[in-house]
Amino acid sequence: MMHPAWRDACLKVLLGGRRAQLAVIPEGNTRVWSCSHDRGFHTSPSSRAAQRAQAPAMEDYPSEVIRNFSIIAHIDHGKSTLADRLLELTGTVPKLRKDNQQVLDKLKVERERGITVKAQTASMFYSYMNKRYLLNLIDTPGHVDFSWEVARSLAACQGALLLVDATQGVQAQTLSVFHVAKEKGLVIVPILNKIDLPAAQPELMAAQMQSTFGVDPSDILHISAKTGKGIENVLQAIIERIPPPASASAKNDNRLKAFLFDSSYDRYRGVISLVSIQSGVLQKGDRIQSMATSKRYEVTDLGIMSPEEKPTASLREGQVGWMVCGMKDSAEAHVGDTMHRVGETVEPMPGFKLAKAMVYAGIFPVDSNDFVKLEESIKRLTLTDRSVTVSRESSTALGQGCRLGFLGTLHMDVFRQRLEDEYDANVIITAPTVPYKVIYRDREQLVSNPTDFPDVTDTSNKVVEVQEPVVNASIIVPEEYLGEMMDLCFAHRAEEMDYRYLDVSGVTSSRILLKAVMPLSEIVTDFFDKLKSRSSGFASFDYEDAGYKASNLAKMVFLINGKPVDALALIVHRSAEQAVGRAWVKKLHKVIPRQLFEVPIQAAIGKKIVARETLSAMRADVTAGLYGGHHERKLKHLENQKESKRRMKKIGSVDLPQEAFFDILSSKS
């Protein structure tokens, strides 16, 4: 038996210092050591065989006893807590301790921020009315930036639990996810959560849900996910209200058809795909083919998530699970792809709407020598977050980097934190921008990088029009903050504003749904922070794409000693050019180190300077050694110094250190 101190030391060396736990799995007269750490789970083949021997027989669960459902709600309405209670009540996990909450929030960033970022899957077994059911739960994020995760998860479900906080009521994201679920034809089970709180108003909120969603108040379940009250009624509603997956076997169609709706990466096994079996049986050793790439693979392992990986002998019609088939490249795992057995032909699943990048930013390593490592880390991370688009980018100031497209600014910040937490990356992120459409006389061009944006003041560029993306914004806010919200929207160039009362009539503290058309570029900066501060935290915000609209935009470049810095280029609306220019030159003035000569810092649009700050020169006292004599002697030395500084300014160059870029681009002031 290995001494615990030696065992822990060896593990620390093997795992590179990462947190680890060691378990002993007895197998006959031998012991198998298994280690789990914060980057996944890896076991020996013999221990995996022991798990497989205890795995459930999936052939005992035909499609009529399967329920695939999701939990949808606004952020912080209790989705992860409800998932914990369902896992506990079905015996999938032991009763959780206070320090082990949010089982499906596996990422460090999720636990630190208290939000769900990555949709997770968990299979549960539950007996009801002398019948054994298989319940597949998919927990979804609640923030507007991760709406694509929600849509992707709902594609593999037949029903959804619509969760509403009994103290806050219907919020902006609640409306958004409800309409997405209805469009996909899902059965909605309405639930009021947090009824145990003193501020809860279940009758009022039930009436609000009736007026907003058209649901019958008698169909609304009243629960407290924190205390476990009413959770059994939720399980009963899942079984009775949500229909089972459509059976293809009834049509005598036993061909394998698997819908790939998510993927992750394991350093030992490669790509792990999450699939929903639409028809047929998937077994280890099957030869399968992708309809998106036509590449062929051999299934080497498969199973269900419960909530950790549990190997099984097969996956059958209606079931949701994972498979390993030898994929090594992230580009091969297409979300929305249909997998089928080699030699068979099947109809592909309906086209899945791919993620559309709303915000772009450049990511550069602080040390330019780390670019290869950073690029590999981004490739690995994008496999678990397929909504990110990646392309290479180079900058004269920052060197080699990547241009990434995100669903929103929170998504960008979460991605950056995951790079730092999971891959020890040290990066610089440029100012976020949105994709603009530049219309020339003979063509159109989509521009996401400010350095590629043409100078619209130059008539030789033949630019006819510039269009920017706009969104349909929805804000739900108490009536007393309506004036503040309208003022905020006007300040961010909102148009077509309209509002209506959301609550039922006769209620004194009514809430208002404010709708407006806003430029996306105004939202990706600090709009959300201002929204929360000016509404005392009561306002909720959601938006959806509304296409492009013509706008008066221009590229702003920053000149340091007359030389442009490409990494700091911005695209601004002409109405805000003075304010933006002054703010940025002041930021530059604070971080640029002083030189031996005077350095002008300018913000320019075309040939017009819109803002300027001057960094004074470091001045040596050339008259300190002089004593006595006429004052003209001192003036001569001062004139010589002034002339030398003029020559230095002409030939001198100012190199911005990486730390200065980091300070500028990370500062919000």
- Those residues with Cβ within 8 angstroms of residue 344's Cβ, 6 or more apart along the chain or in another chain: 255, 256
Per CATH, the number for 58-241 is: 3.40.50.300
| Residue appearing with tokens 């680890």 | 20
**pLDDT: which is higher, 368 or 129:** 129
Q: How confident is the model at residue 27 (pLDDT cuts 50, 70, 90)?
A: very low
CATH classification of 437-551 is 3.40.640.10, yes or no? no
Cα–Cα distance for residue pair 621/638, rounded to 1 Å: 9
Cα–Cα distance for residue pair 303/310, rounded to 1 Å: 5
359-432 matches 554-666 in fold: yes
Annotated binding site: 73-80, 139-143, 193-196
Annotated binding site for GTP: 73-80, 139-143, 193-196
Residue 220: count of CB within 10 angstroms of its CB: 21
Helix (H, G, I), strand (E, B) or coil at 315: strand
pLDDT tens digits, 507-520: 445 778 889 999 98
**What is the dihedral sign for C-alpha 112, 115, 119, 124?**
positive
C-alpha to C-alpha distances, 581 to 68, 570, 592, 664, 668, nearest whole angstrom: 53, 10, 16, 14, 14
The domains of the chain are located at 4-53, 58-241, 249-341, 359-432, 437-551, 554-666
C-alpha torsion angle, residues 202, 203, 205, 210 (rounded to 10): 130
CATH of 249-341, one of 3.60.110.10, 3.40.190.10, 3.40.120.10, 2.40.30.10: 2.40.30.10
Q: Which two tokens stand for residue 14?
A: 């093997």
C-alpha to C-alpha distances, 245 to 83, 149, 186, 187, nearest whole angstrom: 21, 21, 11, 12
Q: Where are the beta strands (DSSP E) in 312-388?
A: 314-316, 320-324, 338-341, 359-365
User: Under a CB-based contact definition with an 8 Å cutoff, are residues 224 and 230 in contact?
Assistant: yes
Tell me whether the omega of the peptide bond preceding residue 244 falls within 30 degrees of 0, making it cis: no
pLDDT tens digits, 251-288: 566 788 888 877 777 778 888 888 888 888 888 888 99
pLDDT recorded at residue 103: 60
C-alpha to C-alpha distances, 74 to 163, 212, 286, 443, nearest whole angstrom: 8, 15, 41, 42
Helix or strand run (H / E) with residue 75:
none
Q: How confident is the model at residue 587 (pLDDT cuts 50, 70, 90)?
A: confident
- Looking only at the bridges linking them, the beta strands covering 120-128 and 66-73 are unpaired
pLDDT tens digits, 430-464: 778 888 888 888 888 888 888 888 887 777 778 88
CA 503 to chain centroid: 31
Residue 246 has what DSSP assignment? P
pLDDT recorded at residue 226: 84
Instruction: Give domain 359-432's CATH superfamily.
Output: Elongation Factor G (Translational Gtpase), domain 3 (3.30.70.870)
Residue 628 has what DSSP assignment? S
CATH of 554-666, one of 3.30.70.2570, 3.10.20.310, 3.40.50.720, 2.40.110.10: 3.30.70.2570
pLDDT score of 316 more than 70 = yes
pLDDT tens digits, 472-488: 888 888 888 888 888 98
Q: Which two tokens stand for residue 650?
A: 């002409």
pLDDT tens digits, 347-380: 777 655 566 777 888 888 877 788 888 888 888 7
Cα–Cα distance for residue pair 209/201, rounded to 1 Å: 12
Q: Quick one: which of 27, 34, 43, 49 has its CA closest to 313?
A: 49
User: Under a CB-based contact definition with an 8 Å cutoff, are residues 215 and 209 in contact?
Assistant: yes
